[in-house]
Amino acid sequence: MERADIVLRFYQVKPDVIIIRLGFIALLALGGYLLNPLSKSSHLAEFIGDDVRTKQLISAGFGAMVALMIIGFEIRARRASLKTLIGAAVGSIMGIVGAYLIGMLISSQDINTVPGELKTFLTIALAFFMGYIGLMLGAAKGDYLDLSALGGIFSDKNVKRDYKILDTSVIIDGRIADVSETGFLGGTLIIPHFILAELQQVADSADSSKRQRGRRGLDMLQRLRNNSNLDVQLVETDFPGVKEVDLKLIELGKQLDAVIVTNDFNLNKVSQLRGVSVLNINELANALKPVVLPGEAMRVFVLKEGKEYNQGVAYLDDGTMVVVDNARHLIGKTADIAVTSVLQTTAGKMIFGRLWEENIEAHENVGIHDSRSMGFRRATRELRQNTILEDIEKAGAGS
């Protein structure tokens, strides 16, 4: 029930807009009831007779239906750009003017040649036809307008809006809410409807771990929605011909000229190949990790054995992997190490080091005749590091 409430809140419209729309419907319905425009309709009298009250109720229903059609047009027009609206207005006006001129030629014909009823029908039909064609063509060609030439009052400030589309992985991860609350992520956050449906499917999964992740994602959406400083919008746009959710995100990014925010490594690469910009939260986290330079001292807890002989592996608080040479015997203990090198990979940052005691002894015992052996040991250490990096990159590509 809680998940249903979260989903329904995305469909809510501002209360003042709802009140205005309901008032508009009631006003047209009341006007139809009082003015009773269908009272003199002979065709309607054939079905319901001459009952005035019935005609008033039908006129009120007709007025309410017209109001609903106008509100539907208004909702659709709100999504259009200023160029599209200006193009549609100019096109419809030109179409109506053309229909009026042609209608004058029809009206000037002799009544014996063109009957009066046919003149009226042709004039009205021509006005609707020309107005409709002008409206559609003007809206389609509105993007070619140069609004800057018309003055600053006609500048379309919403054309270059900053849209960011959220992926399922980044919503479930939850760090996007923290980044947004700090004010570092601006613009409009777009939640596609198919992403919301995927989250619901995960939240209703039979697997307990997936169900927990889905509920966490819905909680993160609610947290983003409750932030008054964020502009969060649910987009109904879908691509029925595209099956994969990742490909739908890419198509939506192209359509809105938006940036995709994700944690998915594969989606990151595919989006860049398709020409869609991507913001990766993992890359942001790696960029914000503390800078460590070779030679610095560090105290770590050796957690497990490394892949190479006699290596130990530790992790920093931010998840950075630290590979320590000759630290296998210190597994489960805290050790002081000296950083030998820092490498940046697609999976994150890796730190290589050796025990602090060995670092001191190495500096004290280095002589002229040890330069060749030191170079050999350095080359061997770099070879081991490259092997570890290749294993990590293969694991990241496989996942």
Task: Supply the pLDDT for residue 36.
Answer: 80
User: Given pLDDT bands bounded at 50, 70 and 90, which one contains residue 74?
Assistant: confident
Per residue in 76-132, pLDDT (tens digit) is: 777 777 778 888 888 889 988 888 888 888 777 777 766 777 778 888 888 888 888
Does the pLDDT at position 11 exceed 60? no
Task: Supply the pLDDT for residue 314.
Answer: 92
Per residue in 106-122, pLDDT (tens digit) is: 777 777 766 777 778 88
Superfamily of segment(s) 163-286: 5'-nuclease (3.40.50.1010)
User: Given pLDDT bands bounded at 50, 70 and 90, which one contains residue 376?
Assistant: very low
How much is the average pLDDT of 367-371? 42
* Lowest-pLDDT range of 100-109, 164-173, 240-249: 100-109
In the chain, the percentage of residues whose pLDDT exceeds 70 is 77
Does the pLDDT at position 155 exceed 80? no
User: Could you give the CA distance from residue 349 to residue 303 in angstroms, rounded to a whole number?
Assistant: 18
> Looking at residue 201, what DSSP letter applies?
H
10 vs 359, residue with greater confidence: 359
User: Given pLDDT bands bounded at 50, 70 and 90, which one contains residue 8?
Assistant: very low
**Architecture, CATH, for domain 292-398:** Beta Barrel (2.40)
Domain ranges of the chain: 12-151, 163-286, 292-398
User: Given pLDDT bands bounded at 50, 70 and 90, which one contains residue 375?
Assistant: very low
Task: Supply the pLDDT for residue 115.
Answer: 75
Task: Supply the pLDDT for residue 389.
Answer: 59
Question: Which of 43-57, 249-263, 345-359 is modeled with the greatest confidence?
Answer: 249-263
Task: Supply the pLDDT for residue 398.
Answer: 55
- The sheet with strand 231-235 has its strands ordered as 231-235, 188-192, 163-166, 259-262, 278-280
Say if CB 378 and CB 294 are below 8 A apart: no
CA 303 to chain centre: 39
Task: Supply the pLDDT for residue 302.
Answer: 92
How much is the average pLDDT of 259-282? 87
Report the chain's mean pLDDT, rounded to a whole number: 78
User: Could you give the CA distance from residue 92 to residue 127 in angstroms, rounded to a whole number?
Assistant: 10
Q: Which residues contact 24 (CB under 8 A, 6 or more apart)?
A: 67, 70, 71
How much is the average pLDDT of 45-68? 80
